[in-house]
Amino acid sequence: MQKRLKKTKILLLRLLSVSFCLLIGGIIWSIGFGDIKNNKAEIKAAIVTHHLVAEEMMMDLGNRLAKNTNIPRVILIGPNHDEVGGGHLLTNDIDLYSNGKLITFDKILTNKDHACYAPESVLKKYLPKTIISCVLVSSRTTPKEIDELVLELKNLLGKDGVLVASVDFSHYLPIQQASQNDTLTWEDIKSQNTVSLLKKGNHFLDSPKTMAILFAYLKLRNIVNMLPIKHLNSAQILNIPDSPSTTSYFEVVYW
């Protein structure tokens, strides 16, 4: 009898723990996340994950982008996870290689990185006629290189192209700590606080330099509208709330 009561108590505690973790992981972000009320809004930039465990977020972005009137080109920017290649900026897009100095063209290495191939494979299903290419960003990329890249991106994307930051957020932490870190990161995203983000490591996001490029691009293009769509954690998606190591994801659109 006592063993049965003990097992019941353990089960109840575990259920409470699950509920608490899911609450921590979700309630902060449930307010204010939604849809673009202006039906004429044309998305010009976005943030999305590159983990296929959160493929639903890539699919949602693809569906939203498909509603744009015309998107001739999407350029994904994300972390060079293995820090490979001959330069700080690596691409599979020959049109970005035109000057031969700033950006290194290596289709094989670029396409091997999941910062590229994961979102590209999903978005292509929704934008079959759109050119989708990638730029991998080294953690060693300099401010000067960021400024030069942003000009290249603006010229190539034109008025109808879309820049997508392929970034994952809090890594390797339990969901409670991950959510606390995400709260701080979200404040930086809202205010486009590049200085603060560049001080943050993997426990907050995997590519501060990618976010710096995104923010500089938004400023150059005078893109001022932002809508957070979704915030999730791998523990929620996989239903493993007591996992000691999780990853967080944001989906955000700009127009």
Summarize pLDDT for 23-81 with one digit per residue, the tens: 444 433 433 445 665 556 899 999 999 999 999 999 999 999 999 999 999 999 999 99
Mean pLDDT of the chain: 88
Instruction: Name which of 12-26, 59-73, 76-90, 160-174 the model is least confident about.
Output: 12-26
| CATH of range 2-254; options 3.20.20.70, 3.40.830.10, 1.20.1630.10, 3.30.2130.10 | 3.40.830.10
pLDDT value for 41: 82
Residue 77 contacts residue 132 (beta carbons within 8 Å): no
Report pTM.
0.87
State the pLDDT at residue 100.
66
By the 8 A CB rule, do 115 and 134 touch? yes
Strands 89-91 and 131-137: antiparallel
Total length of the chain: 255
Predicted pLDDT at 7: 47
Strand partners for 78? 136
pLDDT of residue 95: 93
For 208-244, the pLDDT digits (tens) are: 999 999 999 999 999 999 999 999 999 999 999 999 9
Q: What is the predicted pLDDT for the residue at 251? A: 98
